[in-house]
Copies of this chain bind each other. A is one copy, B any other.
């Protein structure tokens, strides 16, 4: 059974479809009793007005919004120094791509601890200030995603795999799987994992799945004694590594939640005079420019950020233009690349 349309509502209510359309677009122009009858028919049929279709009839704004979803756990106390997080880099890439296509880029934040926040973001579309949204969600069940789906607004999720939505997905599981398989194949036997904590929980658990699956496939036992939660900062990596070194079993390799965490790992190992890669090998994630100049230079996982941004923008532009049906989902998994550097060099071949 297909989607209920405005014509179904008109038939049920006994009015013309123009009158139903008027209820949707200018309810103040419709007699109160007529409106009540039509609204009842909409409820009976579970009719959801397609605001994407409504937006099409308006003049397009040629603007899109990038929305960063912040969980209640994200500190926002305005304290210096600013955290050095990836969204800044991804936003710059969106600025570049929207600019090349003559679009204006709006940036908004959505706070899950503020119940009115998702509705205010959605109002950007209903007020025709933007044509569509790119959502940087940290969780699949973010309330903004549910709201945008219910209203049938044009949007694309960036990073995560969210069922039923267009998305540009980073292959988090496969990426860590490849790194751990490489370490196991080249001699590491006690591979530790620093699991990002507090925020980006879905990303952290996908990366952890890659770690555990790769250990199993390499015939290595799970090493829960070598898995340490840490926040997504160099300080978190530093403290987690000192914690790991004080345990009875020592790892011979550490896979860090990301590059920033890995910089803290390298510093902790240096301070404790543990040789890298001689005694412990280290892998990061994101392939930040600075990793090539870490001491030792850092093996990491390169993410095709610009390709993901281009895909997300092209998908959103097609949905906005009506050349891609909202139900014809564009879902792409972007493979990563393991970049080998000094921090995982093997002793002698």
Q: Interface residues, chain A, CB within 8 Å of chain B? A: 63, 68, 76, 78-85, 87-89, 91-93, 95-96, 99, 104-109, 124, 129, 233-235, 237-238, 260, 263-264, 266-267, 270, 287-290, 292-295, 297, 302, 304-307
Chain B residues in 8 Å Cβ range of A92: 82, 85, 87-88, 91
* A84-B306 in contact (CB<8A): no
Once the chains are docked, how many angstroms separate the CA of A90 from the CA of B285?
23
Q: Assuming A104-B129, A289-B260, is B80 touching A304 (CB within 8 A)?
A: yes
Copy tally for this chain in the complex stands at: 2
Chain B residues in 8 Å Cβ range of A79: 306
Chain B residues in 8 Å Cβ range of A264: 293
Q: Assuming A88-B92, A263-B290, is B104 touching A106 (CB within 8 A)?
A: yes
* B292-A80 in contact (CB<8A): no
Given contacts A84-B288, A104-B106, A263-B290, 19 further A-B pairs with CB under 8 A are: A82-B89, A82-B305, A84-B290, A87-B88, A88-B89, A91-B91, A91-B92, A95-B107, A99-B109, A104-B108, A104-B129, A105-B108, A106-B106, A233-B289, A234-B290, A234-B292, A234-B293, A238-B293, A266-B295
Chain B residues in 8 Å Cβ range of A96: 76, 78, 109
* B76-A82 in contact (CB<8A): no
Chain B residues in 8 Å Cβ range of A235: 292-293
Chain B residues in 8 Å Cβ range of A76: 96
A288 nearest in chain B by CB position: B84
Can you name 13 A-B residue pairings with CB atoms under 8 Å? A78-B96, A79-B306, A80-B307, A81-B288, A84-B288, A84-B290, A87-B88, A91-B91, A96-B109, A104-B124, A263-B294, A266-B295, A294-B295
User: Which of A288, A290, A304, A307 counts the most B-chain CB atoms under 10 A from its CB?
Assistant: A290
Chain B residues in 8 Å Cβ range of A81: 287-289, 302, 305
Chain B residues in 8 Å Cβ range of A267: 293-295, 297
Smallest distance from the beta carbon of A301 to chain B beta carbons, Å? 12
Once the chains are docked, how many angstroms separate the CA of A223 from the CA of B106?
47
* B91-A99 in contact (CB<8A): no
Chain B residues in 8 Å Cβ range of A260: 289-290
Smallest distance from the beta carbon of A216 to chain B beta carbons, Å? 32
* A305-B80 in contact (CB<8A): yes
* A107-B109 in contact (CB<8A): no
Once the chains are docked, how many angstroms separate the CA of A92 from the CA of B68?
10
Once the chains are docked, how many angstroms separate the CA of A134 from the CA of B73?
30
Once the chains are docked, how many angstroms separate the CA of A76 from the CA of B93?
10
